[in-house]
């Protein structure tokens, strides 16, 4: 029986049990049991007898006989590393790195940037607005901010429409700042915007709330942080 996979943020779900094969299966045979998974998504895991399955930032483990799927965090007790999160972070680096900065709204650091953060933002999110009120301070600390849109209410909602309007504005940075401060945005049309692509990317990298901040190494920093605390966190990650 072929297992149907339902992609969820940071999780896998299956709708049926695996068959009862006793032999060790190849990666191709494991992939044939999982809809939407190819052999390229399957690697040997750090744990003998388990395959690692990675699709986007979703990670799970399958026994070598193809019978059991395991979902959860794997830690190396010698290094104290969360190896599951390391796999997710590497996937996020690849996915976020594939986005042209021209398809983002970028607030550049003053001078040479010390750090770059990518943030999925919702114009109507209170903590997103609170963070953006300090954007000048963030930039002055040497942090470049790359915004992607993630209207939490989804398509065909007021928050989504605001994101479209900001993108179509002549000065996107100024329009985003004005929108986050509760100001009006000109209702200008410019054809298709990247909001839908940003939103789908957010789902793939595991965004569950906004602001969702990612460091350059793909680590999910979490939600709102004041500028000084954000800098300390980024310095610690870099070191």
| 78 and 103 housed in the same domain | no
Verify that 78 and 17 share a domain, yes or no.
yes
Summarised one tens digit per residue, pLDDT across range 120-129 is 999 999 999 9
**pLDDT tens digit string along 90-122?**
999 999 999 999 999 999 999 999 999 999 999
CATH number of the domain residue 48 falls in:
3.10.450.70
In a domain, 91, yes or no: no
Structural domain that includes position 70: 5-84
Domain check: are 107 and 179 in the same one?
Answer: yes
Residues 231 and 154 in one domain: yes
Q: Are residues 101 and 40 in the same domain?
A: no
| Residue 145: both structure tokens together | 């901010």
pLDDT at 234 over 70: yes
User: Do 221 and 189 share a structural domain?
Assistant: yes
Residues 78, 116 within the same domain: no
* 90 within a domain of the structure (yes/no): no
Residues 18 and 70 in one domain: yes
Q: Which of 84, 117, 133 is the last residue of a domain?
A: 84
- Alpha carbon distances (Å) from 26 to 46, 71, 162, 188, 239: 17, 20, 49, 54, 39
Q: Same structural domain for residues 39 and 135?
A: no
pLDDT digits (tens, 9 = 90+) for 52-93: 999 888 899 999 999 999 999 999 999 999 999 999 999 999
Q: What is the pLDDT of residue 65?
A: 92
**Closest CA relative to residue 131, chosen from 142, 141, 145:** 145
* Mean of all residue pLDDT scores within the chain: 89
- pLDDT of res. 4: 44
The pLDDT-based confidence of 1 (bands split at 50, 70, 90) is very low
Does 128 reside within a domain? yes
Overall average pLDDT of the 136-144 stretch:
97
- What pLDDT sits at residue 22? 56
Please name the residues in contact with 21: beta carbons below 8 A apart, sequence gap of 6 or more: 65, 66, 67
Whole-angstrom CA distances from 161 to 133, 157, 187, 224 are 22, 6, 9, 24
As a whole number, mean pLDDT of residues 26-35 equals: 91
Tell me: the pLDDT tens digits for 146-189? 999 999 999 999 999 999 999 999 999 999 999 999 998 888 88
Identify whether 89 is part of a domain: no
In the chain, the number of structural domains is 2
- For residue 23, what pLDDT is reported? 80
Query: Are 52 and 158 part of one and the same domain?
Result: no
Active site residues: 122, 125, 128, 152
């Amino acid at each position: 029986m072929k297992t149907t996979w339902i992609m969820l943020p940071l999780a896998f779900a299956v709708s049926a049990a695996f068959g009862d094969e006793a032999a060790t299966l190849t990666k191709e045979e494991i992939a044939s049991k999982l809809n939407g998974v190819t052999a390229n998504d399957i690697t040997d895991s750090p744990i003998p007898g388990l395959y690692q399955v990675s699709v986007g930032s979703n990670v799970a483990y399958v026994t070598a006989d193809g019978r059991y799927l395991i979902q959860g965090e794997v830690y190396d007790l010698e290094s104290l590393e969360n190896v599951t999160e390391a796999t997710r972070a590497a996937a996020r680096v690849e996915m976020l790195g594939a986005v042209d900065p021209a398809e983002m709204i970028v607030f550049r650091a003053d001078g040479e940037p010390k750090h770059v953060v990518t943030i999925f933002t919702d114009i109507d999110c209170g903590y997103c607005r609170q963070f953006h009120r300090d954007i000048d301070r963030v930039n002055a600390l040497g942090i470049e901010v790359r915004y992607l849109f993630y209207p939490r209410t989804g398509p065909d909602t007021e928050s989504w429409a605001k994101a479209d309007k900001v993108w179509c504005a002549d000065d996107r940075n100024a329009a985003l700042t004005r929108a986050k401060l509760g100001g009006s945005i000109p209702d200008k049309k410019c054809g298709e915007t990247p909001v839908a692509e940003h939103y789908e990317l957010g789902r793939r990298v595991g965004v569950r709330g906004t602001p969702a901040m990612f460091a350059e190494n793909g680590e999910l920093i979490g939600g709102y942080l004041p500028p000084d605390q954000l800098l300390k966190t980024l310095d610690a990650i870099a070191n």
